Amino acid sequence: MQARSALFDLYGDHLRSRGGQAPVAALVRLLAPLGIAAPAVRTAVSRMVRQSWLTPVRLPAGPGYSLTPKAARRLDEAASRIYRTSRVTWDARFDLIVLDPPASRPARARLSANLEFLGYGCIGDRAWVAPRASDEVDGLLDEAGVRYDRFVASHAAGTDGTASLVGRAWDLSALATAYRSFVAELTPVVEPAPARGDDEAAYRARCQLVHAWRTFLFRDPQLPPALLPTGWAGATAAAFFDQHATRLRPAADRFVNQCLS
């Protein structure tokens, strides 16, 4: 687990609800159980400041870092998808974006990654589609400096109907395989973790669980049930995540509070 990714997990899962800020010393203590040393934490924090995700603050316990408004919005969006706090509905229409890609390869890759994070799938060199519009997408495209047009679209005709469009935009077979691997790999991590008696062990196991689950934000567009195959593996994985994330939460919270104090 890289320090920068672990910091995003930490701020999103624990610190956002505690004011979105923490002293540097507490960040070091909180990442130590994950095998991340203090120099790596400080390097990652500096990078996140340069990227406008964190901003320095002076706290009663010493120098620290707070989420920027940009980071808070992104983490709130991520949390709603991680814990599925908003109901997934669909009106049988897609948000369609046709854009002029950036000239440089790194810029194209960065834009593609950001669009995928927001749930969009690519159906051509210039076209991206999602089952629902994202509130962030206009700002993302404006920041990238690309020309684009957006449409509300419904599927009218095709060889295999809407399923063909979904298959072009997202590789659901590979995603289902990833979900099954997630359950298989995380079961020996979270099942032995105690909900009582060893708060640090519970925190460490839950961090690994959340970190692995969070990677699906970049892969799973969270399609409505009408667009998913029967017996969708993602539903089984979500139930597994909910069960253990909830079970380990009290102990993990106790460890976080101890480190912050």
Asked whether residue 177 carries a pLDDT value surpassing 60, the answer given is yes
In 135-166, which positions are buried (b, 16+ CB within 10 angstroms) versus exposed (e)?
Answer: ebbeebbeebebebeeeeeeeeeeeeeeeebb
Asked whether residue 29 carries a pLDDT value surpassing 80, the answer given is yes
User: Residue 158's pLDDT is what?
Assistant: 59
Distance CA 68, CA 80 (A): 18
Asked whether residue 233 carries a pLDDT value surpassing 80, the answer given is yes
Domain residue spans of the chain? 3-73, 94-154, 171-260
User: Residue 89's pLDDT is what?
Assistant: 73
Long-range Cβ pairs for the range 119-127 (8 Å, 24+)? 119/221, 119/222, 120/95, 120/221, 121/166, 121/168, 121/169, 121/170, 121/221, 122/169, 123/165, 123/168, 123/169, 125/101, 126/98, 126/99, 126/100, 126/101, 127/96, 127/97, 127/98
CATH code for the structural domain at 94-154: 3.30.70.790
Asked whether residue 45 carries a pLDDT value surpassing 90, the answer given is yes
User: Residue 85's pLDDT is what?
Assistant: 58
Average the pLDDT over 120-143 and give the result.
90
Residue bearing the bigger pLDDT, 1 or 185: 185
What is this structure's pTM? Answer: 0.82
- The DSSP symbol for 84 reads T
% of the chain at pLDDT higher than 70: 97
User: Residue 87's pLDDT is what?
Assistant: 61
According to CATH, the topology of domain 3-73 is: Arc Repressor Mutant, subunit A (1.10.10)
Sign of dihedral through CA atoms 160, 224, 216, 156? positive
User: Do 205 and 189 contact (CB within 8 A), yes or no?
Assistant: yes
